[in-house]
Amino acid sequence: MVVELVSVGTELLLGNIVNTNTQYLAEKCALLGLSMYHQVTVGDNRERLSQVLKTALDRSDVVILTGGLGPTEDDLTKEVCAEVMGSSLEEDDHTRDLITEYFKNSIYKEIPDNNWKQALVPQGAKVLENHNGTAPGLILEKDGKTAILLPGPPGELKPLFEEQVFPYLQERQPEVIRSQMIKLCGQGESQVEDKLLDLINGQSNPTIATYAKTAEVHLRITAKASNEEEAKELLKPVVKEIKNRFGNDVFTTKEEETIEMAVVRLLKKHELTVTTAESCTGGLISGRIVNVSGASEVFREGFVTYSNKAKRKRLNVNKSTLKQYGAVSKQTAKEMALGGVFATGADVCIAVTGIAGPISEGEKPVGLVYIACYLKDKVKVEEYHFKGNREKIREQSVVKALDLLRRSILSNYNT
């Protein structure tokens, strides 16, 4: 089954926003085992939208259109779809009720006239209830072709797709597709690919796709089969083999788990508390830990010690260490980690000091970063040479710091 994405909106053509919906939908369609050959973006223009839709319906089985379902005159997607697919618009009572309900709980005193337009649906269309806005999703089928219309705001599109469109498409797919995520930290994408070359080249089912993220590599292993059981059986040996090859580089096999979630999970498991002592990352590591709901169980406080004076006062870094080795040194990182534990009584401290640039410091180059982790009377310090601009260097430092924390726990507890 071939699917095509059509994004509708002049704001996309003007570059006002990044089209993240397309990536989201493309990934989900790949997960469903659907083939995709084209993605098209077109503005709020009747003639051009009509032409794009006709071409898409001609060369693809399913066309997913996003955007242009709003209440204003610019919003044309529904009207054009109905016209192209030979259907007429009629009012949907249930949608009308939902719009009334939606506005009851809003700041508006009256329902704007325009919004009633959103209760009109093409005759014969399947109406998908939208719990996060007033534009319903719509599915139109005609002569073996399907158009799926979804609202543009990601907060409306994603739940609608997840809950109603995904199962609809899955049902129409004769094959069952199952996939497994494996997330790694510690190797670059090309290194990971090199290590998997035999698996990637040797097999077409399951397939292995690599996704490079900041200091992480994600692998998606996808199997097609005639039933769920068979798909799982196909996945199992490949997933096992990959996990064996990468060992502790694997930080999670859960789709939604981030590295900070994996770290907080490990800290909870071993009943450890953590503190942070940050220089060049400036609070971004603690910021990531606090991303995790329930982080308060393992994280109570952190220090952002940007100046030398703060490193001395808060973390008791020796004046002579700073003088002899400098703020960006293995020795300072080590003392920061020790000082963090000493000041807070936490079980673990992760400390970072480095040169994020753009200006190097004396002989020390931009990108030089030291990360230290104190755990159970041991301090491990690592030296990194990151590439990229100030932001990239800091982002990589954050991920590598979280990863060092994770590895320190693993090696200490042999889990």
Question: What minimum distance in Å lies between the beta carbon of 254 and a copy of itself?
Answer: 18
Element (H, E) at 190: helix 189-202
Kindly tell me which of 72 and 227 has the beta carbon lying closer to a copy of itself: 72
Cβ-based nearer residue to a copy of itself, 281 or 321: 281
What is the nearest approach in angstroms of a copy of itself to the Cβ of residue 48?
A: 6
Cα–Cα distance for residue pair 308/322, rounded to 1 Å: 7
Eight-class DSSP state of 164: I
Q: Tell me how far, at minimum, the Cβ of 352 lies from a copy of itself, in Å.
A: 11
Say if CB 275 and CB 300 are below 8 A apart.
yes
Identity of the residue, 344 or 408, whose beta carbon is nearer to a copy of itself in the bound complex: 344
Closest CB to a copy of itself among 121 and 322?
322
Burial of 226 (0-12, 13-18, 19+ CB in 10 A): exposed
Q: Is 33 left (phi over 0), alpha (psi -120 to 50) or beta?
A: left
Shortest Cβ distance from residue 25 to a copy of itself (Å)? 7
Coil, strand or helix: which one is 348?
A: strand
126 versus 392: smaller Cβ distance to a copy of itself: 392
> Nearer to a copy of itself by C-beta: 95 or 115?
115
Distance CA 39, CA 64 (A): 10
CB-based contact 5:36 (threshold 8 Å): yes
Cα-based distances in Å from 169 to 2, 32, 110: 11, 8, 38
Q: CA 329, 406, 368: angle at the middle one, nearest 5?
A: 25
Helix (H, G, I), strand (E, B) or coil at 399: helix
Nearest distance, CB of residue 305 and a copy of itself, angstroms: 5
Query: Which residues of the shown chain bind a copy of itself in the complex (CB under 8 A)?
Result: 12-20, 22-30, 36-43, 45, 48, 52, 209, 211, 276, 278, 280-287, 289-291, 293, 295-296, 299-307, 309-310, 314, 344, 356-359, 390-391, 394
Minimum gap (Å) between residue 307 Cβ and a copy of itself: 4
